[in-house]
Chains A and B, each alone.
Chain A
Amino acid sequence: MTSLTEKLQPGKVNLPSWLSKQLNHLGKVIMPLIGIICFLFIWSLSASNIDTSLGKFPGPSAVVTQLGNLHQEHMDERSKEQAFYVRQDKRNADRVAKDPNYVAKIRSYTGKETFYQQIGTSLITVLSGFLLAAIVAIPLGIAIGLSKSLNSAINPMIQIFKPVSPLAWLPLVTMVVSAVYISDDPMFAKSFVNSMVTVTLCCLWPMVIQTSVGVASLNSDWLNVSRVLRLPAFTHVQKIVLPATVPAIFTGMRSALGIAWMVLIAAEMLAQNPGLGKFVWDEFQNGSSQSLSRIMSAVFVIGLIGFLLDRGMLVLQRTLSWDKTSASL
């Protein structure tokens, strides 16, 4: 209770004068800049001293060059795509000319996935797996938090499954998905479903646990308010439990998304499912003289996306959650 009052009435720090404020702002820009410059320096210096069997370790300039190449490859692939559709339309037209009953179909482009597309695939996968997990985990967490008996029934399972790396599930997921998800014209590719389910599995536990803990440690005064008002169960959950748990839910979601992104990349590498992980693995397997710098580029992109995902969650939390203090960096 006291912690709540502290949270709601944060102690005001005496801020220094405008000058030190300015310095502070400057420091916020300059220090990271210095950090980055130092990093680039150490990186390029050490990179040139590391000889691998695939050539020198890529330095910053090699990565920049590769990012350019990856962009160029994307553009090239797009022009190939256009040519593909032209050819296909012609072929369809020929066939219609010969067989008027034929209903021309447009088949989508069969070329390779470019770097940008791999990024897109990974993002879509991680977000859909994450959302699926949220849809399952939040109600489950609330139910567990509300009911002691449900909690004691489910808790052993959660405790056992929580520490399991979702990658250990991957083979099982793969087999189950291929056995269960059978359709002649599937809406989603199996590989997508595999990755997504893996992401879901790893998102599930932090969200369930955080949500249930949030519900279970609900401020007893608020519960008393609800009791005094004799709120019906549904209204109780809707008006008291859910909003009160929002900060905890967000904490769970943020850590889940962070884990999910890491796991997804690993899962894509392992299962060769389309996405950034596969890009990295393919490049590693290619073993060409450019492979390392391309992998390094992907590493930066993966990191950047992970960072942006986290920031995105933070912004979302700040917009949606009443408890601004819990939405800290």
Chain B
Amino acid sequence: MKKLWKKINKQVCQATITVTAALSISAFSVNAEELGYPEKEELKFGFIKLTDMAPIAIAYEKGFFEDEGLYVTIEAQANWKVLLDGVIDGRLDGAHMLAGQPIAATIGYGTEAEIITPFSMDLNGNGITVSNQIWEKMKVNIPKRPDGKPVHPIKADALKPVVEEYLDQGKPFNMGMVFPVSTHNYELRYWLAAGGIHPGFYAPHKGDTSGQLDADVLLSVTPPPQMPATMEAGTIYGYCVGEPWNQQAVFKGIGVPVVTDYEIWKDNPEKVFGISKQFAEKYPNTTIRLTRALIRAAKWLDENNNANRPEAVKILAQSNYVGADAEVIANSMTGTFEYEKGDKREVPDFNVFFRYNATYPYYSDAIWYLTQMRRWGQIDVDKPDSWYFDVAKKVYRPDIYQKAAQSLIADKLMSAADFPTLTTDDGFRAPQTHFIDGIVYNGKAPNEYINKFSIGLKAGDKI
């Protein structure tokens, strides 16, 4: 069978080669002179079943990886720990990662390893969902619009009386997040703390990695795809997770998303593509090429005002990618978000893959995660600003991104206009203002930022 097939293959090829050989002034061969062929061609990438893995799936399905001469196998992973270990031990060449993962690995919180990221995968894309029961209790505390629907963004202030009621009754209030260094953990904490609810401290130097010291709400880890089932089982009352697991709760009728991370922090950086530093050093061309493929995929996803999203939804709904029903994935991917059943609102930037320099690995993004790690005690002592910058530079690698972007421009696969600030960027976003509590974040002054929060560790604090 196989032999026969190869035979046919060859014949077809020979036919096509003769035709194409003359015609092909392939972009691929032109840039090969500058960039060089990939050192390692057969790669395996891991992902977690979340819509924000889309750039990887698109780069595969649209042939962007193959255009780079990369033969990529994509494999779903059980949870973030397995995925990270896979990249560390070399079972995976790269993976869709929580932004906090490469940072935490580099500073040695959890498994210590040098993981870098040349590519930021998306902005936003998460939500916080509570169970129907909690929603009923929260609802009374939320102001209504004239049409009777709740005013957004919903702040944790509305949840606070509910949590207090549970604590008065001596019942712990449990919520789920996906990983101790996940965006979701920090977002959920940010939202809770902004509403005056204490999410608890970590004390790794005392061996306490539960993150529940002084907590009003007990946060624990649940893998994303299991969030709805865990909440349905009553183990947790709510969770913060990426899509489609918030929309899934609406479809199943088991919970109500109350807030998206877009509302907590507009255009927050979310996932990154992580590879080991060793890999990047050993296979520089491969690293640049895979970054190129991912940039093209991200662009494809946002192109023409999200015109390709419906097609992307179909791809993601395949059982080997996200696998949820297409209509569930479509809900958030195509620019809407359904809160309470029937309360579907426009959130055009719920998933951003390319706009607003979404793919550029900004140092300031890394530093924000570090500030939150310090705020909640995962980093147990004060660090100077310079330490924050150093760590960010170790992990976030705009240099690789720039090489990839420039070669894409040179190959005319993309235009300079796609990267408006490529040449002017210093790796720091301008101070960001759109947080739910109104606190401004300036990545150039991390310690100053940490001191602004009323709940959380500040300079000099120690657990």
Contact = CB atoms under 8 A, between A and B. Distances in A.
A151 interface: no
A80 to B, nearest CB: 10
Given A97-B21, A285-B225, A86 B13 contact: yes
Contact of A86 (B12, B24, B41, B77): B12
B66 A286 contact: no
Nearest to B43: A110
Nearest to B48: A285
Interface in A171-209: 178, 190-191
A283 interface: yes
Interface stretch (A155-163, A255-263, A287-295): A287-295
Interface in A272-329: 272, 281-291, 294
Interface string B3-47: 001100110110011001100101011001000010001100000
Interface string B268-279: 000000000000
A287 B319 contact: no
Contact of B71 (A110, A281, A283): A110
A73 B319 CA distance: 10
B228 A53 contact: yes
B252 interface: yes
B253 A53 contact: yes
Given A288-B319, A291-B323, 16 more contacts: A53-B229, A53-B253, A86-B13, A89-B13, A91-B66, A94-B29, A110-B60, A272-B76, A282-B76, A282-B323, A283-B319, A283-B323, A285-B323, A287-B248, A288-B317, A288-B325
Contacts of B71: 88, 107, 110
The 3 closest A-B CB pairs, nearest first, are A286-B323, A285-B225, A112-B320
A85 interface: yes
A284 B49 CA distance: 11
A272 B319 contact: no
B37, B71, B89, B319, most chain A CB atoms within 10 A: B319
Interface in A53-94: 53-54, 73, 82, 85-91, 93-94
Contacts of B72: 110
A28 interface: no
Contacts of A190: 91
A25 interface: no
B99 interface: no
Interface string B204-238: 00000000000000000001011011001000000
Interface of A: 53-54, 73, 82, 85-91, 93-95, 97-98, 105, 107, 110, 112-113, 178, 190-191, 270-272, 281-291, 294
Contacts of B414: none
Nearest to B252: A53
A113 B320 CA distance: 8
A236 B44 CA distance: 53
Given A190-B91, A272-B76, A272-B82, A287 B228 contact: yes
A85 B49 CA distance: 28
Contacts of A112: 74, 318, 320
Interface string B50-92: 0000000000100100100101111011100010000001010
Nearest to B46: A272
B437 to A, nearest CB: 33
B163 interface: no
A288 B323 contact: yes
B232 A53 contact: yes
B254 interface: yes
A288 B324 contact: yes
Contacts of A281: 78
30 contacts: A53-B254, A82-B9, A85-B6, A86-B9, A89-B12, A91-B69, A94-B24, A94-B26, A97-B21, A98-B32, A107-B71, A110-B60, A112-B74, A113-B320, A178-B89, A178-B91, A190-B91, A270-B78, A272-B77, A285-B49, A285-B225, A286-B225, A286-B323, A287-B225, A287-B228, A287-B324, A288-B317, A288-B319, A290-B325, A291-B323
A73 to B, nearest CB: 8
A298 B12 CA distance: 38
Contacts of B32: 98
Interface of B: 5-6, 9-10, 12-13, 16-17, 20-21, 24, 26, 28-29, 32, 37, 41-42, 49, 60, 63, 66, 69, 71-74, 76-78, 82, 89, 91, 223, 225-226, 228-229, 232, 248, 252-254, 317-320, 322-325, 328
Nearest to B322: A286
B82 A294 contact: no
B226 A93 contact: no
B36 to A, nearest CB: 11
A113 B26 CA distance: 32
Contact of A90 (B16, B49, B74): B16
Contacts of B13: 86, 89-90, 93
Contacts of A290: 325
Contacts of B89: 178
B28 A94 contact: yes
Nearest to A89: B13
A270 B319 CA distance: 18
A112 B315 CA distance: 13
Contact of B76 (A93, A95, A285): A285
A190 B72 CA distance: 17
Contacts of B248: 287
B252 A54 contact: yes
A143 to B, nearest CB: 36
A144 to B, nearest CB: 36
Nearest to B37: A95
A168 B317 CA distance: 34
Contact of B319 (A85, A90, A282): A282
Contacts of B21: 93-94, 97
Contacts of A113: 320
Contacts of A85: 5-6, 9
